[in-house]
Chain A
Amino acid sequence: MTRYRIRYSKEGAARFISHLDMVRTFERVVRRASLPLSLSEGFNPHPKFGFGFPLPVGMAGQNEYVDLMLDSAMDPEQIVCSLERVMPPGLRVTGACLVEEKSPALMAQIERSVYQVRAAREELPKGVETLRKCLEDMMGMREITIGRRKKDGRNVIFDIRPGLLAFSVREEEAALIIEMELMTSSSLNVRPEEVIEAVRGRCGLLNNDCHLYFTRTGIVGPGGRDLFICL
């Protein structure tokens, strides 16, 4: 068995495919591509996948990964070509890498994610400098609390500051772009919407129901280690 890491992007209509449906979509994609899939044992054999940290419904992803097991070795370029021909609109395969078969699950290797939040510039009436100042102040704080609703329905106060690693803002033509690097591990996970909520709460700069376009631009391991390194 050989293990390959597939790098893909998820944009446009495909942003609305939920994580559960992504698993199903990939099963169908690899079957259409006729890759020599390694199937699980048992009566109901299934292709073996290892997904990364789920992308929330509606969020774009530029460099997402999924690991898959093949029965025989293949040229990674060939894998990319075969998959590209059968991806639904909005999903694109941008690379494939042979990785160590016995290395830990992809999910366990992820520590951080980089996000980009895009808004129209008019959503920020006081200008980008005031926002930048606000962000710097926030990065200087020891604690940034937000309300978080737990699965059991309880509301708790949660400190996102330890999960907030980097934060920047810039302008690009008519758009305002906020970039942030956040912890996304099983022990500490901060969502970009929560950071935006904190910015709103503290600086009150962004218009209230403005449209924000979220993209996850990258996923990295501890210390920012690249997870797409080929053997």
Chain B
Amino acid sequence: MILTDKRNYAKELDRLLARVQKPARYAGGEWNSVCKEWEETAVKIAFAFPDVYEVGMSHLGLQILYDTVNRRPDTLMERVFAPWGDMEEKLRQNRIPLLSIESKRPLGDFDIAAFTLQYEMSFTNILNMLDLAGIPLRSSDRKSGFPLVIAGGPCAFNPEPLAEFIDVFAIGEGEELFHDIIDVYKSAKERGRERLLRELAGIQGIYVPAFYRAGYNSDGSVCAVSPREGAPARVVKRVVEDYDRVTFPEKPIVPNTGVVHDRIMLEVLRGCTRGCRFCQAGALYRPVREKSPDTLIRQAEALVKNTGYDEISLTSLSSADYSGINPLVKGLLDRMDGLGVGVSLPSLRVDAFSVDLAGELQRVRRSSLTFAPEAGTQRLRDVINKGVTEKDLLEAVSAAFGAGWQAVKLYFMIGLPTETREDLDGIASLAGLVLKKGEEMGVKRGRLKVTVSVSSFVPKSHTPFQWEPQNTIEELREKQMYIKSLLRDKRISFKWHDPGVSFLEGVIARGDRKLSAALERAWQLGSRFDGWSECFNFRTWMTAFEDTGLDPGWYAHRRYDYDDKLPWDHVEAGMSRNFLVREHRNAMEASTTPDCRTGRCPGCGVCTEMGVKPEMGGGGGCDPLQDQVF
């Protein structure tokens, strides 16, 4: 802990709040927030979210870990968010360090600062938060007296770009891993930082980058990330022992101000069996596990009582896939209807079943329905293993228009491997077919609307497409303009992502340890909140790469060979390399792989690697192959 002088930061902050935008972001005092006795609690942890309060408070992982840790009498967890620019300026002017929401203590006073890595474009905020806390950015500059800086979440699966800044990465699910970290911290903290790190490195799922040396080939590519001092050669992700019974926050913090997801988030299942080849979440969160309906109904009732929310969102990567979704929804509606509490699904599968379900839940047709066919032709949908046909989509939109929705949003990706002009034409023609379907279904003139939203493919680690190059910014921009030129109908609106942002996502997502220098330089040059279009500055980033002698295009546009050493090879998400190679080859042949819910195990290797099994608490079944399949 840094010794700070005895200033009354709470009072100083209170005065600043009158002069910043949205002061409720920093004020705290929310229902169910936990404020423990500082002096009497052995371990103090700050959950640091590298984005604004409204984004961080919409993140279920924050609520889960806050609850998990605060259940321990020996530990407290408070929250810290990235201050928006106006607040950062005021903090720096008044020499106030970054403070926690609960007790308004400096981040540097905590034993552990735990960052969550949800998005590559929040990385500069991590550096900024450390700097605002007076904590040296580089792990090697932090002697004892500073907090242990740890980081977890999906982007921790390629930890290398942040390896210079983070002491300890936590790979995989945190509910049990966090307890192990705290236990080791308590027993080893008195014995010095080096010893503490060494003992932490012995926990499954912990990666301590200081114990690994990154070696490079003459062309700059990674030749090895090799362990030293007895650290494990492969860091295997953590998966909770029993998902149905693992602690779930039944008393989540209820924000005092509107946040992005301002409702009960009831996690019905974890993982996804669909196996879309571009999807990193699908790879990282396997195996699929469902909570039992009894657990879910009990949790839903407790959550309504403890929060006062009027909406329960059934969250997961694909909630309509829950085995017993119909009885579950009926059971929830029976109990919630009299209370004026609604039930909703955050995302829809592309099929009529999902639409019928959404129609049952959403009695007022408030907004549009969103579907993600992802690609414009059947060939390309087979390449990415998106098990959706044109027929599925047309049935889904028919059901939607028939049930009273008048607007439909379609999500696509461009720059996917093997993409041709024909696939881009397919996006426009699908949009046209959906529009035509709307006319046929008698949607009122002037109300019918189709939105085509196009994002750009970013190759991600641990997926079958991890070896694939990303399109250049110019290619992406040209494709966007091409699609725009095809969508002439006024009832179709077209949205696209900034290709400069997608490019940087690609650079960082497949980056190595050398990138640390560029991240730090970009932060020095003023990069903050790079995921926010009003803050993102492409030129700044290019200057940062120039200043540090790195070629960002080399990271993004490179095609890796199967035999190449990848910067994240020492971090194990469970899918075998052989499976990824096979999936990549299947993709090139536009050959699909079945969903493991169909009962035909594709042999991804997660279950055998992790010694786990899919848990279909909702009543479905699927049996993993017990032997590795090649």
A residues bordering B, Cβ < 8 Å? 12-18, 20-21, 24-25, 27-32, 34, 37, 39, 43-47, 57-58, 86, 88-90, 211
Of A15, A31, A45, A88, the contact of B30 (CB 8 Å cutoff): A88
Chain B residue with the shortest CB-CB distance to A44: B364
Complex Cα–Cα for A41 and B533 (A): 41
Docked pose: A86 CA to B306 CA in angstroms: 9
Contact of A18 among B17, B257, B309 (CB under 8 A): B257
Pairwise interchain contact A28-B29, C-beta atoms closer than 8 A? no
With A18-B24, A89-B29 in contact, do A27 and B254 touch (Cβ < 8 Å)? Answer: no
Q: In the docked arrangement, what's the CA distance between A27 and B24, Å?
A: 18
Determine the chain A residues whose CB is within 8 A of the CB of B339 once the complex forms. 31
B308 pairs with A43, CB closer than 8 A: no
Chain A residue numbers with a CB within 8 Å of B612 are: none
Confirm or deny: B258 has a beta carbon within 8 angstroms of a beta carbon on chain A: yes
Known contacts A18-B24, A28-B254; is A13 also within 8 Å of B29 by CB?
A: yes
Which residues on A sit within 8 Å (CB–CB) of B33? Answer: 89
Return the contact of A32 from the options B18, B28, B30, B305 (Cβ within 8 A).
Answer: B305
**A40 nearest CB across to chain B (Å):** 10
Cβ–Cβ contact A17 & B308, under 8 A: no
Name the A residues within 8 Å of B340 (CB-CB): 31, 37, 39, 45-47
Q: How many angstroms between the C-alpha atoms of A45 and B258 in the bound complex? A: 20
Q: A17-B24, A21-B257 are in contact. Are A86 and B308 (CB under 8 A)?
A: yes
Residue of B nearest to A214 (CB): B18
Nearest A residue (CB) for B28? A13
**Contact A211:B15 (CB < 8 A) given known A14-B256, A86-B31:** yes
Question: Known contacts being A43-B363, A88-B254, is A28 close to B30, with CB within 8 Å?
Answer: no
Most buried by B among A29, A31, A58: A31
User: Interface size bucket, B side?
Assistant: 20 to 34
State A138–B256 Cα separation when bound (angstroms): 40
Q: B306 and A32: CB pair below 8 A?
A: yes
B310 touches A90 (CB 8 A): no
Q: In the complex, what residue of chain B is closest to A17 when comparing beta carbons?
A: B256
Given contacts A24-B258, A88-B254, A58 and B17 within 8 Å (CB-CB): yes
Mask, B25-60, CB within 8 Å of A = 1, is: 001111101000000000000000000000000000
The interface of chain B, by Cβ under 8 A from chain A, is 15, 17-18, 23-24, 27-31, 33, 254, 256-258, 262, 304-310, 339-340, 363-364
Q: Are B24 and A29 in contact (CB-based, < 8 A)?
A: no
List, in ascending order, chain B residues with CB within 8 A of A86's CB: 31, 308
Indicate if the CB atoms of B257 and A17 lie closer than 8 Å.
Answer: yes
Q: Which of B17, B28, B29, B306 has the most CB of A within 10 A?
A: B29
Among residues of A, the one whose C-beta sits closest to the C-beta of B104 is: A13
**Which of B18, B29, B309 interacts with A14 by CB under 8 Å?**
B29
A43 and B364 contact, CB distance less than 8 A: yes
Q: A44 — which chain B residues lie within 8 A by C-beta?
A: 364
Residues of the B chain whose Cβ atoms lie less than 8 Å from the Cβ of A43: 363-364
- Chain B residues contacting A58 (CB-CB under 8 Å) are 17-18, 23
Interface of B is mostly: loop
The answer to whether B307 touches A32 (Cβ under 8 A) is: yes
- Give CA–CA (A24, B255) in the complex, Å: 10
Q: Is the CB of A88 within 8 A of B256?
A: yes
User: Given A21-B256, A21-B257, A88-B256, is A28 in contact with B307 using a C-beta cutoff of 8 Å?
Assistant: yes
With A21-B256, A32-B305 as known contacts, state yes or no: A16 contacts B27, CB within 8 Å.
yes
Are B258 and A27 in touch, CB under 8 angstroms?
no
For A15, the chain B residues whose CB sits under 8 A away are: 27
Q: Which of B17, B18, B262, B306 gathers the greatest number of chain A CB atoms within 10 Å?
A: B18
Docked Cα-Cα span, A135 to B366, in Å, equals 54
In the complex formed, the residue of B with least CB distance to A91 is B29
Which 5 interchain pairs have the tightest Cβ spacing?
Answer: A13-B29, A28-B308, A31-B308, A32-B308, A16-B27
B257 touches A28 (CB 8 A): no
11 contacts between A and B (CB under 8 A): A13-B27, A14-B256, A16-B27, A17-B27, A21-B256, A28-B254, A44-B364, A45-B340, A86-B31, A88-B31, A88-B254
Contact status B309-A28, CB under 8 Å: yes
For the complex, give the distance between the alpha carbons of A58 and B310 in Å. 27
Most buried by B among A27, A32, A47: A32
Task: Please indicate the chain A residues that have their CB under 8 angstroms from the CB of B305 in the complex.
Answer: 32, 34
Known interface pairs A13-B28, A31-B310, A89-B29. Does A25 touch B364 (Cβ–Cβ under 8 Å)? no
Kindly list chain A residues whose C-beta atoms are within 8 Å of the C-beta of B307.
28, 32
Smallest Cβ-Cβ distance to B362: which chain A residue: A43
With A17-B257, A24-B258 as known contacts, state yes or no: A88 contacts B308, CB within 8 Å: no
Chain A hits for B363, CB < 8 A: 43
Q: Roughly how many angstroms separate A24 CA and B17 CA in the complex, as a whole number?
A: 21
Give chain B nearest CB distance to A14 CB in angstroms: 6
Bound complex: CA of A17 vs CA of B27, how far in Å? Answer: 9
Complex CA–CA separation, A211 to B12 (angstroms): 11
- Whole-angstrom CA separation of A20 from B31 in the bound complex: 17
Q: Nearest Cβ distance between residue B265 and chain A, in whole angstroms? A: 15
Q: Say whether A57 contacts B31, CB under 8 Å.
A: no
- Judge whether A57 and B308 touch: CB under 8 Å: no
**Known: A29-B308, A31-B308. Contact between A57 and B23, CB under 8 A?**
yes
CA distance A34 to B339 in the complex (A): 9
Bound complex: CA A25 to CA B27 (Å): 15
Which chain B positions have C-beta within 8 A of A29? 308
**Interchain nearest-CB distance for A152 vs B (Å):** 21
With CB as the reference atom, state the residue of chain A lying closest to B305: A32
Bound CA–CA A57/B23 (angstroms): 8
A contact residues around B254 at 8 Å (CB): 28, 88
Within the assembled complex, what's the spacing in Å between the Cα atoms of A194 and B50?
38
